[in-house]
Copies of this chain bind each other. A is one copy, B any other.
């Protein structure tokens, strides 16, 4: 390796860049929450753990953080981005607490805020913020998780009493996996098919009391406990069934649609599907929060594994007789360092996503069009899927990298793995989310901005693509190859281009495959099903490019501010290190997808064979900075207390070993 070693910035300088737009919120959260141990006893029964989490909500309420996310009209600051950023940091501590808080303030409180109107805000929001009224977000049913537009719970308007009657028509229509339902929730936002007179205008949300002040379940409500789960056992998930439960007409959350006393239905959005997805769209915050929580959990796992990998020694160096730190083995570096680089990438992508959400959702921001809102939903869906899969894979790798120690609960990795595992399938199943994203990309491509059914993609897209095919005879003009362009993978700009090319090409391939099939009048399900893997590939490639762009911009921002000489981000060592982390991330993506690049002629065999040694070189170069890179996440030390790290002091780094080797 001829490259000059990357110089090391200070952890503070690096952290400042990593912390991003809500750096102050991050620092406050570290200060406010980092002082609490947040270490639940791993041998807790579910009941004990639930009680512990309920208690742990109190310091969170006392911090005032939940309030900051709500509108100024109820005393908040409308700091939508800040509260999501702070929320995700709870994943550094206890994930059951994170999810319990997310259910209470994000899902339940959030639904009241954005789907309700002043009558609901005035009556409930303060109590929700202060934790006096704990509630549920009751959308998913046993029979309908992904296809929630077709859930079966009903809300029938009774004009005589001016009430809605909530019913669970069959066991498959039970609300299921509902947080706060089994033990603590006193009220739920229940999503149900509205029936009013002759009309059935689709799914609407209703406030339904579940328990009285003493916690006794109310008549007509049936609660069952989901029981022990793989993880998150501090959250009381349960099932809710309703038998003729009556709520006042005012309990309809009526921001988008209302029912007058006489049973007249009105809505600002005529189309039922459009209305439903507009309602859902306002709830995008939950999905973004899960992505953030997943990212933080992966960072914690990497912090534990890197620290352990520096001090754990196994097998002797034959020249020195000294045992070698396991992180000095190439195989170990290849397990942890590309994952660490990707965690940096996800951090910047998440920060950008949160900022975009903030610009759209924070009070006082100018209203944006449906297209901008939909783009936010696309990004949220894609990044949620990729961030949660990244977390699951990374935490698994970190567990294995710590061997037997990583299997003990005292060393924190088992809970990280078990608790985050459900992230890949809740707040939208990842596979379904990527299909949703792919559909939107196809839809954008066809310039048909009609709002459709994003989850059941087949019906709408069939028509759209048929027209795309008719309008564009020049499909072959889509970029397929760039003859003569030999993308040199040692060049940073070329690598970035490779990700963009893949994004465009995979989408073009999906269109090229689907459009003719649709024009032939084939069955829609068969056509789309046979191309499902192409759609998922296109969506994945799109997110890879989005994430790369965020990371690239973050590096460029650091560069610009240095050259401008006016910012605090001017540490050239931060920039130099970030560039190498960026390189490793991008190169690992190309490495993962190199079969595609070879199949499409975007890389030659010789170029592709260069990737492995390049990744190895980057791993060697970043190895001495591994500890710094994880420390820059700024996870409170109180939340990293693992006996496996109390071993012998971490002595020589790779550089040190190299010295020994040279001397030997």
Most central of A46, A331, A392 by chain B CB within 10 Å: A331
A349 at the interface (CB under 8 A from B): no
Q: How far is the CB of A48 from chain B (nearest CB, A)?
A: 10
Number of residues of chain A lying within 8 A (CB) of chain B? 90
Q: How far is the CB of A22 from chain B (nearest CB, A)?
A: 30
Rounded to whole angstroms, the CA-CA distance of A661 and B425 in the bound complex is 29
Q: How far is the CB of A610 from chain B (nearest CB, A)?
A: 10
Binds B, one of A200-208, A314-322, A365-373, A578-586: A314-322
Q: In the bound complex, do residue B228 and residue A42 qualify as a contact, i.e. CB atoms below 8 Å apart? A: yes
Q: In the bound complex, do residue B598 and residue A599 qualify as a contact, i.e. CB atoms below 8 Å apart? A: yes
Contact with B along A471-489 (1 / 0, CB 8 A): 0000000000000000000
Q: Please give me the residue from chain B that is nearest to A404 by CB atom.
A: B177
Rounded to whole angstroms, the CA-CA distance of A580 and B396 in the bound complex is 32
Rounded to whole angstroms, the CA-CA distance of A526 and B355 in the bound complex is 45
Would you list which residues of chain A between 309 and 339 have a CB under 8 Å from chain B? Answer: 313-319, 323-324, 328-332, 334-335
Contact with B along A646-664 (1 / 0, CB 8 A): 0110000000010001001
Q: In the bound complex, do residue A229 and residue B532 qualify as a contact, i.e. CB atoms below 8 Å apart? A: no
Most central of A150, A315, A431 by chain B CB within 10 Å: A315
Q: In the bound complex, do residue B648 and residue A172 qualify as a contact, i.e. CB atoms below 8 Å apart? A: yes
Chain B residues lying within 8 Å of A462, measured Cβ to Cβ, are 318
Would you list which residues of chain A between 138 and 175 have a CB under 8 Å from chain B? Answer: 140, 143-147, 150, 172
Rounded to whole angstroms, the CA-CA distance of A358 and B93 in the bound complex is 50
Q: How far is the CB of A412 from chain B (nearest CB, A)?
A: 11
Q: Please give me the residue from chain B that is nearest to A593 by CB atom.
A: B595
Would you list which residues of chain A between 552 and 607 have a CB under 8 Å from chain B? Answer: 594-595, 598-601, 605
Q: How far is the CB of A276 from chain B (nearest CB, A)?
A: 15
Q: How far is the CB of A597 from chain B (nearest CB, A)?
A: 9
| Known contacts A314-B144, A407-B230, A600-B605: A530-B396 contact under CB 8 Å | no
Contact of A608 among B532, B598, B648 (CB under 8 A): B598
Q: How far is the CB of A616 from chain B (nearest CB, A)?
A: 7
Q: How far is the CB of A460 from chain B (nearest CB, A)?
A: 10
Q: Please give me the residue from chain B that is nearest to A330 by CB atom.
A: B532
Chain B residues lying within 8 Å of A36, measured Cβ to Cβ, are none
Contact of A404 among B140, B319, B524, B664 (CB under 8 A): B140
A637 at the interface (CB under 8 A from B): no
Q: Please give me the residue from chain B that is nearest to A526 by CB atom.
A: B661
Would you list which residues of chain A between 204 and 223 have a CB under 8 Å from chain B? Answer: none
Q: In the bound complex, do residue A523 and residue B414 qualify as a contact, i.e. CB atoms below 8 Å apart? A: no
Binds B, one of A60-68, A120-128, A451-459: A451-459
The copy count of this chain in the complex is 2
| Known contacts A533-B616, A599-B609: A145-B404 contact under CB 8 Å | yes
Rounded to whole angstroms, the CA-CA distance of A616 and B109 in the bound complex is 44
Q: In the bound complex, do residue B417 and residue A331 qualify as a contact, i.e. CB atoms below 8 Å apart? A: no
Rounded to whole angstroms, the CA-CA distance of A598 and B607 in the bound complex is 12
Would you list which residues of chain A between 81 and 125 have a CB under 8 Å from chain B? Answer: none
Chain B residues lying within 8 Å of A316, measured Cβ to Cβ, are 150, 456
Rounded to whole angstroms, the CA-CA distance of A594 and B596 in the bound complex is 9
Rounded to whole angstroms, the CA-CA distance of A344 and B386 in the bound complex is 30
Contact with B along A409-444 (1 / 0, CB 8 A): 110011001100110111001110001000000000
Q: How far is the CB of A295 from chain B (nearest CB, A)?
A: 19
Q: In the bound complex, do residue A228 and residue B409 qualify as a contact, i.e. CB atoms below 8 Å apart? A: yes
Contact of A229 among B319, B324, B409, B456 (CB under 8 A): B409
| Known contacts A177-B404, A396-B392, A600-B605: A329-B529 contact under CB 8 Å | yes
A281 at the interface (CB under 8 A from B): no
| Known contacts A315-B147, A330-B532, A526-B661: A425-B410 contact under CB 8 Å | no
Rounded to whole angstroms, the CA-CA distance of A396 and B408 in the bound complex is 19
Contact of A146 among B146, B230, B315, B459 (CB under 8 A): B315
Which 4 residue pairs are nearest across A and B when measured between Cβ atoms? A230-B414, A42-B228, A598-B598, A595-B595
Binding site for B on A (CB under 8 A): 42-43, 45-46, 140, 143-147, 150, 172, 176-177, 226-231, 313-319, 323-324, 328-332, 334-335, 392, 396, 399-400, 403-404, 406-410, 413-414, 417-418, 421-422, 424-426, 429-431, 435, 455-456, 458-459, 462, 523-526, 529-530, 532-533, 536, 594-595, 598-601, 605, 608-609, 612, 616, 647-648, 657, 661, 664
Name 11 A/B residue pairs within 8 A (Cβ), A-sorted.
Answer: A227-B410, A228-B410, A230-B409, A230-B417, A231-B407, A318-B462, A319-B524, A329-B532, A403-B429, A526-B661, A601-B605
Seed contacts A403-B425, A533-B612; 11 additional CB < 8 Å A-B pairs: A143-B313, A176-B404, A229-B409, A230-B413, A230-B418, A231-B414, A318-B458, A331-B435, A334-B533, A598-B598, A600-B605
